[in-house]
Amino acid sequence: MTTLNLLQSDIKVTSIKESEFPGMYAVELASGRSLYATQDGAYVFSGTLFKNVDGTIVNVTEEAQKKVASLKLSGLKEADMVIYPAAERKATITVFTDVDCGYCAKLHEDLPVLNAKGIEVRYLAFPRAGLESETYAKMVSVWCAPDRRKAMDDVINETPILKIDCDSPVADQFEFGQVLGVRGTPTIYLENGEMLGGYSAPERLVEKALAATAK
């Protein structure tokens, strides 16, 4: 679409389809964001589309973004994650984490409570300081460790671990998080694609995670 290319030359469009707004098309980008455009592409706007459904306001844009995020996350390999399973799984949350993040450590302390309530926690790496940082090296060591959960526990508790290097998914996960729009940690995704930015108390997180599976 010429107008989009004029706005940003490297913009990547994954789909264009009719939106719920008559005469407008929803343009889905690789990042999961949505733009809206006229059929001829002459007019493009970036914003949030709301719809009145029987007196209830529905955020159409947010719902579309949740579907994209859920689809992208469901395509990831669990073998590339650090997973803390629940004995009786009722819901799953996917967390972009940073081992040097204070609120990530606080969330990590809540894992026994979350697991006991049936919430499985899947970690993806998001070293906020970038791929040249000491945090990145620590996270590579965690992902390369024979026992990832123990290595993660040790690093969070500031216990030294063996420095290891391997063909890890840490860099790919960091880039994937940026594509999704992750800017800080912890960033938590529910099964329905809803994103929770920052730390959430375990009671609220359990409630939100269970509710997301029912939708």
Q: State the total domains in the chain.
A: 2
Domain-located, residue 70: no
**Do 120 and 18 lie in a common domain?**
no
Same domain for 180 and 104? yes
How many alpha carbons lie under 13 Å from residue 182 in its C-beta half-sphere? Answer: 29
In a domain, 186, yes or no: yes
Place of tokens 């420095």: 163
Amino acid 215: pLDDT: 56
For residues 37 and 19, give the distance between their C-alpha atoms in angstroms, rounded to a whole number.
9
At 3, the amino acid letter reads T
CATH number at residue 131: 3.40.30.10
Q: Which residues are catalytic?
A: 98, 101, 104, 128
Residue 154, helix vs strand vs coil: helix
The residue-averaged pLDDT of 32-52 equals 78
What's the pLDDT score for residue 15?
76
Q: What does the pLDDT average to over 46-53?
A: 80
Of 51, 72, 93, the domain-final residue? 51
CATH number where 8 lies: 3.10.450
Report the amino acid identity of residue 187: T
33 vs 134, higher pLDDT: 134
Of the pLDDT bands very low, low, confident and very high (cuts 50, 70, 90), residue 8 is: low
For the residues 92-118, what does the mean pLDDT come to?
97
The arithmetic mean of pLDDT across residues 1-27, rounded, is 70
Residue 9 and residue 92 in one domain: no
* Residue 24 structural domain: 1-51
Would residue 40 count as lying in a domain? yes
Residue pair 148/197 in contact (Cβ under 8 Å)? The answer is no
Whether residue 45 is found in the same domain as residue 94: no
Within-domain flag for 59: no
Q: What is the mean pLDDT of the chain?
A: 89
Instruction: Specify if 201 maps to a domain.
Output: yes
- Co-location of 93 and 143 in the same domain: yes
Number of other CB atoms surrounding residue 199 within 10 Å: 17
Size of the chain, expressed as the number of residues it contains: 215
Q: Which two tokens stand for residue 197?
A: 């930015």
